[in-house]
Amino acid sequence: MKKLIGLFMIFLSSGLCASAQSAFEKKITAAVTQLTSTEPTNENPVTLNARILLEKDSIAVIVKVRMAPGWHVYQYVPSTMPYIPIEQILKLPEGLQAVGKWEISKPFPFANDPGVLIYEKQAWFVHRVVRSAGARSGGVIQTGLYYQACDLRQCLPPVEKIFDLKVEPGN
């Protein structure tokens, strides 16, 4: 009987964790959708913004990118190509630890170069972070992107944009 109760408790607690996780997932999806940045222009063809979403000891770091019409950034570039793909940046303070890899929006094949994957209009990136047991609250997460923006006539020099995001309850 004790084994049965123990199994039931494990099943119940895993179900509660799954529902809590799915609630956080919904918040992350909504935050990605709602996050905006300034309007990109031909002079500044790529704009981005970042934020964090905090729920207990779980944090989602969100970076969203917008591109002006006709401009794109690279997600994947074969080593034989001269383009520079996006590099996501994540620097964490003591007491925070990254979990897994970056979740990314779906890139598109570049019609002009087979094997190259790009983003046009917008893209988003999410990385999960957890607070270590006993870690103090607060600190600053640095996140952003290193990227090269191109249109059909030109490629701009690579750019690194970093945001300092304070970790506080209610982010």
- What is residue 43's three-state secondary structure? coil
**Residue ranges, the chain, pLDDT below 50:** 1-18
Query: What is the rounded distance in angstroms from the CA atom of residue 65 to the CA atom of residue 48?
Result: 4
Query: Would you state the pLDDT for residue 135?
Result: 67
Work out whether the CA dihedral 11, 13, 17, 20 comes out positive or negative. positive
pLDDT score for 134: 67
19 by DSSP, 3-state: which?
helix
